[in-house]
Structure 1
Amino acid sequence: MTEKVQGPASYFPSIEEKYGRPIAEWQELVRARRVEHPGARHMELVGWLKAEHGMGHGHANALVAHTLAQS
């Protein structure tokens, strides 16, 4: 029996499908943004994904949360 993916990662298949990039690429973009803007907080990164990449709030929030948790 396989476990159902929960939490932010549960959004990843729909993020990849809707926005046409693999999650690893989105995470690199988020990490690069943090290098360019070292003080950027979670919601600032979410806002950036929404404004610059047209991402929906839930998708952006899940991606940022998961990426920052790995840092």
Structure 2
Amino acid sequence: MTDKAKGPASYFPSIEGKYGKPIAEWQALIRARQPAKHMEMVRFLKDEHGMGHGHANALVAATLVEGRD
């Protein structure tokens, strides 16, 4: 039985397919912008990379959560 991704990670397959970069590359871009605020990073992905709000928000949220571990 395979576990389905939950939360922000559930967007990852469609993000990779739609925007053509692996998640690791997107997360590196987000980390490079720290300590910017969450919504500043979402805006960056939307404005500079044409990403939709839901996808950008999911990527930023997942990346920031990883950084807290």
TM-score (norm 2): 0.93
Structure 1 runs not aligned, ≥5 long: none
Unaligned runs of 5+ in 2: none
Shift of 1:7: 0.3
Task: Flag as ranges the 4+ runs of structure 1 deviating above 4 A.
Answer: none
Corresponding position of 2:62: 66
User: Alignment identity in percent?
Assistant: 75
The Cα shift of 1:33 comes to 1.3
Partner of 1:17: 17
Instruction: Give the structure-1-normalised TM-score.
Output: 0.90
Amino acid at match of 2:8: P
1:50 aligns with 2:37: no
1:31 equivalent in structure 2? 31
Pairs aligned (count): 67
Q: CA RMSD in A?
A: 0.7
